[in-house]
Amino acid sequence: MNAPVLQAAAVHKHYRIGKQEIPVLRGIDLSVQPGESVALLGASGAGKSTLLHVLGLLDPPTTGEVRYDGVPVHGLPIGERARLRHRHVGFVFQFYHLIPELTALQNVLLARMMAVSALGYWGQRKAAKAAAIAMLEQVGLGARLHHRPSELSGGERQRVAIARALLAEPRVILADEPTGNLDSHTAAGVVELMFGIQRDRGLALVLVTHDERLAQRCHRIVRLADGVVVS
């Protein structure tokens, strides 16, 4: 049997403010199979973003384990964790987090530069550029390669962010309210794009959202309340 591409086992996360311990996640168990899409629903403050950060190796759990392909990952050395963040997961955020100094193409290319030395990059710069252009064409921005984020609309920015998340060919996409900042029409376009790519590439998708209708399109819905999975 295939190990789940992403798995959380009894994940607890507490934040400490002064002497006070604030429990945010209180024993989360979650398995995501390759190619599966999971919607993560919950009220604001339920701990959805925190869970996503723990799943994506950005924040360590207080107790419990996160496994990629069955292997626990939070105990790995810092460099190895960074490498896995790059190879295994791709993030899409509500606020895009594009770098304003870079054009759309450069923002996407940056994903390729993250893991290689200057010399290593020089050797593959043409291939990297071609891949980034192809990626941007796939998200429908073939004509906007050299535009800065400030010259793009919200939907276009999110498409650039998706292209950036996909360039390193991750196995899992972690999306934190990717349409939370977009009007419904634009959001629909971005959602279509994401599900399309997810299907075509057989990626696992963890989608944090408030939108019940959007959640219905996923294979599975996980509801989070007060730091535990309720259904």
Binding part of the chain for Mg ion, among 49-57, 72-80, 152-160, 196-204 by CB under 5 A, reads 49-57
* Subset of residues 185 to 224 that bind another protein, contact rule: CB under 8 A: none
| Nearest distance, CB of residue 49 and Mg ion, angstroms | 3
Q: How many CB atoms lie within 10 A of CB 138?
A: 17
- Please say which residue, 98 or 229, places its beta carbon nearer to another protein: 98
Kindly provide the residue ranges of all beta strands, DSSP E only, lying in the chain, ordered along the sequence. Answer: 6-17, 20-32, 37-42, 63-68, 71-72, 89-92, 172-176, 204-209, 220-225, 228-229
d(CA 83, CA 98): 20
Using CB under 8 A as the binding rule, the residues of this chain from 31 to 60 that contact another protein are 49, 53, 56, 58-59
Token pair in block for residue 93: 């955020």
CA 172 to CA 62: how far, in whole Å? 23
# residues contacting ligand ADP (CB under 6 A): 12
**Minimum distance from CB of 220 to another protein (Å)?**
24
The tokens for 137 are 């064409």
Q: Is 102 in the site for another protein (CB under 8 A)?
A: yes
Q: Is the CB of residue 174 less than 8 Å from the CB of residue 145?
A: no
Q: Can residue 37 be called a binding residue for Mg ion (CB under 5 A)?
A: no
Between residues 4 and 90, which has the closer beta carbon with respect to Mg ion?
Answer: 90
CB contact at 8 A, 9 and 17: no
- Coil/strand/helix, residue 206: strand
> Contact at 8 Å (CB) between 158 and 96?
yes
Contact track, ligand ADP, 12-51, x by CB under 6 A = ---x-x----x-x-----------------x-xxxxxxx-
Binding mask 67-86 for another protein (x = CB under 8 A): -----------xx-xxx-xx
Contacts of another protein in 107-146 (CB under 8 A): 110-111, 113-118, 120-121
Nearest to 74 by CA among 59, 89, 86, 87: 59
Q: Which residues bind another protein (CB under 8 A)?
A: 49, 53, 56, 58-59, 78-79, 81-83, 85-87, 91, 93-95, 97-99, 101-102, 106, 110-111, 113-118, 120-121, 164, 168
Q: Which residues bind ligand ADP (CB under 6 A)?
A: 15, 17, 22, 24, 42, 44-50
